[in-house]
Amino acid sequence: AQTVTQSQPEMSVQEAETVTLSCTYDTSESDYYLFWYKQPPSRQMILVIRQEAYKQQNATENRFSVNFQKAAKSFSLKISDSQLGDAAMYFCAYRSDLIYNQGGKLIFGQGTELSVKP
Amino acid sequence: EPEVTQTPSHQVTQMGQEVILRCVPISNHLYFYWYRQILGQKVEFLVSFYNNEISEKSEIFDDQFSVERPDGSNFTLKIRSTKLEDSAMYFCASNKVRENTEAFFGQGTRLTVV
């Protein structure tokens, strides 16, 4: 079974600085998808960024980028120019490709609580 | 922008009572999900639903839980006899899996069992 691990329960960053959140996963599958979701205090789950395992290029979405290391099974999120609105819980999530999992469920890590200091 | 809508936002119920949580997924999506998040813990998969039947369920999704899509738009989660440990945030999600898009989540229903 696949597992997702976020080893940093809490992180803190100064406004305008850069922070990197770590995520590792375990799988025997070769095709899958990785996601970072943001959960602000409202507890809404908001997609931040997505990475397909077959793509070597790291995904980027404005100030958010990932460092995807497939061999190491690592998927970190870098937030540049941190803003106060970035303060939230961040969850890393894994989803199998269709050929393995017709259901399409997401497997989440434990989350990292990010605080942004003004 | 289309969104997943959940009602109610907060439900308080007595232990042993039945509750129904409701969701309206995005209209052209094919797969539907329920997830649970106990306060301070990670989000856990409960069940996935496709083509009017359950495609996968977790160990959490025991006989006390059921899902249905009664009218082609609403997607409901029923808990037959609630327990204190069912208190959690319940999220509905949907996606067009065959187009490899991400899951869109509703805003969640906070269930409190007293």
* Residues 6 or more apart in contact with residue A57 via CB below 8 angstroms: none
* pLDDT in the model for residue A99: 59
* pLDDT in the model for residue B98: 58
Which of B42, B48, B107 lies at the smallest CB-CB distance from A105? B48
Q: What is the mean pLDDT of residues B68-92?
A: 94
Q: Do the chains contact at B43 and A91, CB–CB below 8 Å?
A: yes
Which of B33, B48, B102 lies at the smallest CB-CB distance from A35? B102
Q: Which of residues 25-84 of B touch A (CB under 8 A)?
A: 31, 33, 35, 37, 41-45, 48, 50, 55-56
| CA A36 – CA A93 distance, rounded (Å) | 6
A103 touches chain B (CB under 8 A): yes
Residue A56 has pLDDT above 90, yes or no: no
Annotate B35-91 with three-state secondary structure: EEECCCCCEEEEEEEECCEEEEECCCCCCCEEEECCCCCCEEEEECCCCHHHCEEEE
Q: What is the mean pLDDT of residues B69-86?
A: 93
Q: What is the mean pLDDT of residues B63-80?
A: 93
Residue A29 has pLDDT above 70, yes or no: yes
* Residues 6 or more apart in contact with residue B6 via CB below 8 angstroms: B21, B22, B23, B24, B90, B91, B92, B106, B107, B108, B109
pLDDT tens digit sequence for B4-53 = 999 999 999 999 999 999 999 998 888 899 999 998 888 999 999 988 89
Q: Is B82 within 8 Å of B52 (Cβ atoms)?
A: no
| Residues of chain B neighbouring A35 (CB-CB closer than 8 A) | 102
Please report, as a single letter, which amino acid is at residue B110.
R
pLDDT tens digit sequence for A57-103 = 999 999 999 999 999 999 999 999 999 999 999 999 999 876 556 66
A-interface mutation test, from B67, B91, B92, B105, most A Cβ less than 10 A away: B105
With cut-offs at 50, 70 and 90, classify the pLDDT of residue A114.
very high
* pLDDT in the model for residue A15: 97
